[in-house]
Amino acid sequence: MRINELPVTGYLDRFSHRPGERFSAKVSLRDGGECRVRLVRVVCADPNPAGPGMRLDDRADLLDMIFTGTRQPIALGSYGIATMPARAGAGTWSALIHMAKPRKPGTVLAEEGNGARIALAVEDGMAVARLDWPGGSARIESGVKLAAWRWYRLTLAADPATGRVVLTQAALKDYQAVTTEAVCPGLSLPSGGTLLFGAEGTENPKNHFNGKIEAPQVRGGHDGPIVAAWDFSDGIGTQIATDRGPHGRHARLVNLPARGMVGHNWSGREMSWRHAPDEYGAITFHADDIEDCGWAESFGWTVPEGLPSGAYAFRLTCDGGEDFLPFYVLPPNAGPHKPVAFLASTFTYQAYANHARDNADAAYLARAAAWGASLHNPDQYPTYGRSTYNRHPDGSGISISSRARPILTMRPGFLTFNEPVSGRDLGNQPPGSGLRHYPADTHLLAWLEAKGIDFDIITDEDLDDEGPALLAPYRALLTGSHPEYHTPGTLDAIQHFVDHGGRLAYLGGNGFYWRIARVKELPHIIELRRGEGGIRAWDAEAGEYYHQLDGGYGGLWRRNRRAPQMLAGVGFSGQGKFEGTHYRRLPTSHDPRFAWMFRDIEGDIIGDYGLSGGGAAGFELDRADFALGTPPDAVILARSENPPASFVTVPEELLSHLATVTGEPPDQLMRGEIVYFDTPSGGAVFAVGSITFCGSLWHPERGDFTGPVSQLLENVVRRFQEET
């Protein structure tokens, strides 16, 4: 049994389709055999018995089939591969390398062909050369450890005529070179075969390098004529490494290694690779990079005409277990359309895909089992790749995320946290659900269904592809709990919607925060560079803030002069553990102009309960800031109070440990605010400024979708869906 693989799992060609379009499902069965597929409609993905309950409506009338599947492996790790010309005589292989963790083994260059193989690698923290030929083999090492964060040139020179092999490990600038020699009788060298950089083994690449490689080249003889010389500063936005040598042996890059990386000669005079490409001649390779599993199709399914827009999933079951492949069905292009659209934050789901938090302990697994929740935690299955909140083996942050792989965190019933949080007194409330992202957003979907509010579902990937036209049919647009990641295209489309009379309900926190890159050639990929500010799981190295895919400046949208307040009226301000508090209505909320919004709501306390953190204002909080773009006529209707002890002010608000950008004391910025404003075009924006808000649509003590939070949102959505 392969303990690091699920009995059955898979992924789809994309997260959404319209009626008449076809989903392609790629499934792997660890032990092979038969697999049953049934369609379910996902109404609620929360397994907490204190909540509305997991509700997956069976639609086997539309799909119930059995297929025979096989194990489909995942090949993690990036590398470059090129076909080499035939040649005879001596050869020299060299490259510049830079490693944060030289103790990690990995192959820098490897060539095989004509029955012989060579590898220039790092093993045991030092440069090593390995040679194999018919009738013999040899291994030589430099004997001197490489230093971290330093550039070295590694060179392997070999001459079959004499059998002499020379390995050189030379630190750049003021560091000494070390040379090791050996004599290998009967030596022969590869010719006319395949060369890899960043790994070895043409059939099944392995021994992946974790670090930067720059300017790999092959020469004839000892420092003889160039055979191949790859220039990584050329074509940074592509998956081709250009060969400047006479034979044009351009290399194909596999599994999206990081490009636009500063090279050995980076001067700091330019921060963008587009302005000084010659200083960005490095590529960073990693053993856990993944671009696409590349699995074969296991089954396909065409969305039936007339199937309502909504959240669905393929339920996969085999003898060993089960899994779900969630997806969304959009309405037909020609309609009919509902007045309300829910915007699924698939870019955010993808950024967090397979986030390993190291929290799948016995208590977590026991709760998941007791609740009938998903038992598949990324901590246990690194084989499916990690999230952009994790790090590569060399300690650098993961900046690329693919949806062409199983995403264990995007499953009905997946628990992110084992609530309640330690130290948080939830009184008589039952345990919270501990949900985030995909399953957490079904709190809103279940609420819409319970209230009888008709809605369509679209995704931010669809929005990026289709632009403002996708939103044109709708009167109201609702976000989920955490619409954090956006492209320029999605922000432009939502802004266009609001500017042209649309009504936006931003129902989360820490939204519209990070800028990501995406290109049509790789629609399944998103990229982000976490640079210069923000709450970050890692930070990009200096000079590496620009995306390789589109050349755009990464980091916070705020650093791109598009702070969230400009679109939604509020922006990220405070964060803590997964716990929450309540809002208190401000005097402005009692203005007769807002009586419609607070109809049937008694008292000034809103949301001192909930399935997410125990309160409607929690985990990550947003506030208004007129200097950052909150419209001047926006009204702050309610504000969170008594933040839990775990909360901190986000770093972009701090100038020092005492001074903030606004001049307010740091602890006063740990607040969430409910904000409303009208737009000149007749549109409107309602923003709640909290990730845990939708978790309080359900009232755990009452056991239904009632209470101030539910009533407030119902008043807003029903007003927003009305014709103007």
Cα–Cα distance for residue pair 67/299, rounded to 1 Å: 7
| Amino acid 174: pLDDT | 73
Cα–Cα distance for residue pair 507/44, rounded to 1 Å: 17
322 pLDDT higher than 90: yes
575 pLDDT higher than 50: yes
| Amino acid 423: pLDDT | 39
Q: Kindly provide the b/e burial profile for residues 167-185, where b requires at least 16 CB atoms within 10 angstroms of the residue's own CB.
A: bbbbbeeeeeebebebebe
Phi, psi of 370 (to 5 degrees): -65, -35
Q: Rounded mean pLDDT of 514-538?
A: 95
336 pLDDT higher than 90: yes
Q: Rounded mean pLDDT of 176-202?
A: 95
Residue 663, burial from CB neighbour count under 10 angstroms (0-12, 13-18, 19+) = exposed
Query: 220-229, 273-282, 708-717 — which is least confidently predicted?
Result: 220-229
CB 280 within 8 A of CB 263: yes
| Average pLDDT, rounded, for the chain | 95
424 pLDDT higher than 60: no
Q: Rounded mean pLDDT of 528-532?
A: 91
Q: Rounded mean pLDDT of 29-48?
A: 98
Cα–Cα distance for residue pair 399/704, rounded to 1 Å: 41
Q: Rounded mean pLDDT of 598-612?
A: 96
What domains can you pick out in the chain, each with its CATH number? Answer: 8-74+299-324 (2.60.40), 79-285 (2.60.120.200), 325-720 (no CATH)
3-state secondary structure of 167: strand
Cα 524 to the center of its chain, rounded Å? 11
Residue found by looking up tokens 């690329």 in the block: 400
User: For 452-493, how does the pLDDT look when each residue is reduced to its tens digit (9 = 90+)?
Assistant: 999 999 999 999 999 999 999 999 999 999 999 999 999 999
4 pLDDT higher than 90: no
515 pLDDT higher than 50: yes
CA atoms within 13 A on the CB side of 670: 19
| Amino acid 2: pLDDT | 46
Measuring CA to CA, how many Å separate 332 from each of 307, 385, 494?
Answer: 10, 34, 20
Confidence of residue 1 (pLDDT cuts 50, 70, 90): very low
Q: Rounded mean pLDDT of 565-569?
A: 98
156 pLDDT higher than 80: yes
| Amino acid 223: pLDDT | 76
Confidence of residue 176 (pLDDT cuts 50, 70, 90): confident
| Amino acid 533: pLDDT | 87
| Amino acid 426: pLDDT | 53
| Amino acid 3: pLDDT | 53
User: For 350-388, how does the pLDDT look when each residue is reduced to its tens digit (9 = 90+)?
Assistant: 999 999 999 999 999 999 999 999 999 999 999 999 999
CB 350 within 8 A of CB 11: no
| Amino acid 299: pLDDT | 98
Confidence of residue 422 (pLDDT cuts 50, 70, 90): very low
Query: 27-36, 534-543, 566-575 — which is least confidently predicted?
Result: 534-543
| Amino acid 429: pLDDT | 65
Residue 366 parent element (H or E): helix 362-371
Q: Dump strand ranges (E) for 330-446.
A: 340-344, 400-402
Confidence of residue 427 (pLDDT cuts 50, 70, 90): low
133 pLDDT higher than 90: yes
